[in-house]
Amino acid sequence: MVGAEHSLAIGVERLSSSRAWFAAAIVAGFATWPTNAHAQAAAAPRDSIEGKWAGMAGLPTDRVQIAFEIKRDSLGKLRAYLYQEVSNFYGLLLPGEFVKQGDQYILKEWRLTLTPKAGGLEGTMFSLPVPVTLARTSTLPAEVPVPDLPRGPGPKWQAKLGGAIYAPAAARDGVAYVGTAGGMFYAISLADGKFVWAFAAGRPVFGGAALMDGALFFVCDNGFLFKLDRATGKEIWRYDLGDGTTPRILLHQVVDNSGDFDFDTNAPTPTIAEGVVYVGSGDGSVHAVDATTGKRIWRAAVKGKVRVTATVDPTRVIVGTFDNLLYALDRKTGAELLKWDSRGPIVTSPALVDDKLIVGNRNGLLAALNFVTGAVVWRVQMWGSSAESEATPVGGSLFLFGSSDLRRVSLMDSKDGRVIWRTDVFGWPWPRPVLEGNTVFVSTVGGAPYQTRHLGALAALDRATGKILWRWPMPEWPGSWTNGFHAPPIVADNLVVVGGLDGSLYAFPTR
Q: What is the pLDDT of residues 6-17, one digit of tens each?
A: 444 333 333 333
pLDDT digit string, tens, across residues 54-78: 999 999 999 999 999 999 999 999 9
Q: What pLDDT does 33 receive?
A: 32
How many whole angstroms separate alpha carbon 433 and alpha carbon 422?
Answer: 13
How many whole angstroms separate alpha carbon 384 and alpha carbon 89?
Answer: 10
Give the residue from 391, 395, 355 showing the smallest Cα distance to 371: 355
Residue 255 confidence class, pLDDT cut points 50, 70, 90: confident
How many whole angstroms separate alpha carbon 133 and alpha carbon 135?
Answer: 7
Query: Residue 288 in contact with residue 239, Cβ under 8 Å?
Result: no
pTM above 0.85, yes or no: yes
Proportion of the chain above pLDDT 90, given as a percent: 81
| Beta-carbon contacts of residue 76 (< 8 Å; ≥ 6 apart) | 38, 40, 41, 43, 44
pLDDT digit string, tens, across residues 391-437: 999 999 999 999 999 999 999 999 999 999 999 999 999 999 999 99
| DSSP code, position 489 | P
pLDDT digit string, tens, across residues 103-143: 999 999 999 999 999 999 999 998 889 999 999 999 999 99
How many whole angstroms separate alpha carbon 492 and alpha carbon 395?
Answer: 20
Q: Has residue 312 got a pLDDT over 50?
A: yes
Q: What pLDDT does 25 receive?
A: 37
Is the model more confident about 4 or about 154? 154
Q: What pLDDT does 35 receive?
A: 37
How many whole angstroms separate alpha carbon 279 and alpha carbon 225?
Answer: 9
Give the residue from 386, 424, 432, 431 showing the smallest Cα distance to 407: 424
Q: What pLDDT does 45 receive?
A: 65
| Beta-carbon contacts of residue 181 (< 8 Å; ≥ 6 apart) | 163, 164, 165, 166, 204, 205, 206, 250
How many whole angstroms separate alpha carbon 347 and alpha carbon 446?
Answer: 19
- Average pLDDT for 479-503: 95
Q: What pLDDT does 450 receive?
A: 83
Q: What pLDDT does 451 receive?
A: 79
Residue 477 confidence class, pLDDT cut points 50, 70, 90: confident
Q: What pLDDT does 456 receive?
A: 96
Q: What pLDDT does 498 receive?
A: 98
Query: Residue 319 in contact with residue 302, Cβ under 8 Å?
Result: yes
Query: Residue 181 in contact with residue 166, Cβ under 8 Å?
Result: yes
Q: What pLDDT does 44 receive?
A: 55
Q: Which domains occur in the chain, in start order? A: 31-136 (2.40.128), 157-509 (2.130.10.10)
Provide the mean pLDDT of the chain: 90
Q: What pLDDT does 21 receive?
A: 36
Q: At 157, phi and psi to the nearest 5?
A: -150, 160
How many whole angstroms separate alpha carbon 303 and alpha carbon 83?
Answer: 38
